[in-house]
């Protein structure tokens, strides 16, 4: 109902929220145009404590959840629903109320009747997204035959879980905002893992998203034919080869022309640029890319503008500055191509201590000339030419 008054809708939410005996959960996500939300996502649910029912408010910064309990009368719900979120979902024991605020500021409301149960448990332990005994974790070598994570693979297991904790809220927010289509079995989300290697991440993304009821088609790309054959055989043994497949191709020369989501985890050196270039050239709507080594820009840092020699005369500091320059230029190029881009913290891999991830969502927003000038000034100051810029299709 696009003509429904927004404040009247907020009042309806507040009335439902006040009934803690029937409240199941609330989720606030997405960001209204020209507004800044206090957090990327906020989850609210009732929990049973020794002193009675409390409302647990958890917020995500895109990486982890932080929770605080409030007495029902003190929960800042009225402020939060007016804090700039584009999507608000409230579930109660008799149904749900969902609100999406369009780019024009119009409220679109959906009501549903369905029985739900409250879960008042107060889980103080961090829940695991991946069951260590899942057959695919055993098949790809993270868990042993008894369903326990191998000690040597615990870091990889945590890294994959961390990636899924980043992927899910970003993906659901993009779908809610209309930046990615609502998936169905007839029109699933397509995900391409660029440089998938042993495919720990590829299989995990497929299995986890499918377990959440999200229809996906996942494709892993790696230059090694042995990796392709191994991974396709695992998919066949698991009976999931209709919705996941692997190809032995260079990222720059892959036969895949488009996808909704691109991922790349610690693709070495300019393979990261190949992955970003493929993302942009293929008009992928969401990208999660963790860069690895950055030799290209570092090798070009020969004419050092002063007083930066105070940093670059130290080899390890020059290398780190080169990393920052490389990724800052990559992100700015994506911004100039219509992506909303941010750098977030991520777990480093077994072969690299680097813990940065580039997260980008295609909004189609046209960057202003000031952003172009900043990019040109930076490459002019350092006299560098990012390889990524040479890999992109010309703008129309």
| Per-residue confidence (pLDDT) for residue 354, from 0 to 100 | 61
Residues of the chain with pLDDT under 50: 1-3, 124-125, 350-352
Q: Which two tokens stand for residue 284?
A: 């992928």
Note every long-range contact of 163-166, with CB atoms under 8 Å and residues 24 or more positions apart, other chains counting.
163/201, 163/204, 163/205, 163/263, 163/265, 163/288, 163/346, 164/129, 164/130, 164/204, 164/205, 164/208, 165/63, 165/64, 165/129, 166/62, 166/63, 166/288, 166/344, 166/346, 166/357, 166/359
pTM (whole model) above 0.75: no
Q: How far apart are CA 258 and CA 244, in angstroms?
A: 16
pLDDT of residue 125: 46
pLDDT digits (tens, 9 = 90+) for 161-186: 889 988 988 898 899 888 999 999 99
Beta strands in 281-373 (DSSP E): 286-291, 339-345, 356-362
CB-CB neighbours of 169 under 10 Å: 19
The whole-number pLDDT of residue 126 equals 52
Measured CA to CA, the distance from residue 91 to residue 19 in angstroms comes to: 11
In angstroms, the CA 288 to CA 357 distance is 7
End-to-end, the C-alpha distance of the chain in Å comes to 37
Q: Are the beta carbons of 30 and 177 closer than 8 angstroms?
A: yes
Helix or strand run (H / E) with residue 377: helix 369-382
Contact 168, 212 (CB under 8 A): yes
Domain boundaries, the chain: 6-113, 135-390
> Is the CB of residue 338 less than 8 Å from the CB of residue 391?
no
For 135-390, CATH gives 3.40.50.150
* pLDDT, tens only, 198-228: 999 999 999 999 988 899 999 999 999 999 9
Radius of gyration of the CA atoms of the chain, in A: 23
Longest CA–CA span in the chain (Å) reads: 67
- Between the alpha carbon of residue 64 and those of residues 126, 169, 351, the distances in Å are 10, 11, 24
């Amino acid at each position: 109902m696009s003509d429904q008054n927004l404040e009247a809708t907020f009042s309806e939410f507040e009335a439902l929220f006040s009934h803690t005996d029937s409240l199941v959960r609330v989720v606030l996500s997405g960001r209204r145009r020209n507004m800044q939300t206090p957090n990327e996502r906020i989850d609210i649910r009732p929990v049973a404590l020794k002193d009675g029912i409390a409302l647990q408010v958890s917020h995500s910064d895109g990486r982890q959840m932080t929770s605080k309990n409030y007495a029902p009368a003190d929960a800042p719900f009225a402020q939060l629903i007016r804090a700039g979120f584009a999507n608000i979902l409230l579930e109660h024991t008799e149904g749900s109320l969902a609100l999406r605020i369009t780019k024009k500021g119009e409220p679109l409301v959906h009501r549903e009747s369905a029985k739900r149960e409250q879960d008042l448990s107060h889980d103080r332990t961090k829940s695991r997204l991946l069951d260590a005994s899942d057959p695919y974790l055993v098949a790809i070598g993270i868990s042993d035959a008894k369903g326990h994570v191998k000690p040597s693979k615990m870091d990889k297991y945590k890294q994959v879980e961390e990636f899924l904790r980043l992927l899910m809220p970003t993906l659901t927010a993009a779908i809610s905002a209309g930046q990615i289509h609502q998936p169905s079995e007839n029109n699933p989300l397509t995900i391409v893992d660029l440089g998938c290697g042993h495919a720990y991440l590829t299989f995990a993304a497929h299995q986890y998203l499918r377990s959440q009821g999200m229809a996906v088609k996942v494709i892993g790309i790696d230059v090694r034919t042995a990796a392709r054959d191994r991974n396709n055989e695992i998919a066949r043994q698991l009976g999931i080869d209709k919705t996941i497949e692997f190809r032995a191709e260079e990222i720059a020369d892959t036969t895949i022309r488009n996808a909704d989501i691109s991922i790349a985890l610690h693709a070495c050196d300019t393979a990261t640029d190949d992955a970003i270039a493929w993302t942009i050239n293929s008009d992928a709507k969401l990208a999660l890319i963790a860069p690895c080594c950055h030799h290209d820009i570092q090798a070009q840092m020969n004419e050092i503008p002063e007083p930066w020699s105070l940093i670059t005369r130290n080899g390890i500091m020059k290398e780190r500055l080169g990393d920052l320059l490389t990724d800052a230029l990559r992100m700015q190029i994506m911004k100039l191509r219509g992506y909303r881009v941010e750098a977030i913290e991520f777990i480093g891999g077994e072969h690299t201590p680097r813990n940065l991830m580039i997260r980008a969502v295609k909004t189609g927003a046209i960057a202003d000339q000031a952003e172009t000038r900043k990019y040109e000034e930076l490459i002019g100051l350092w006299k560098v030419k990012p390889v990524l810029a040479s890999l992109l299709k010309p703008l129309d």
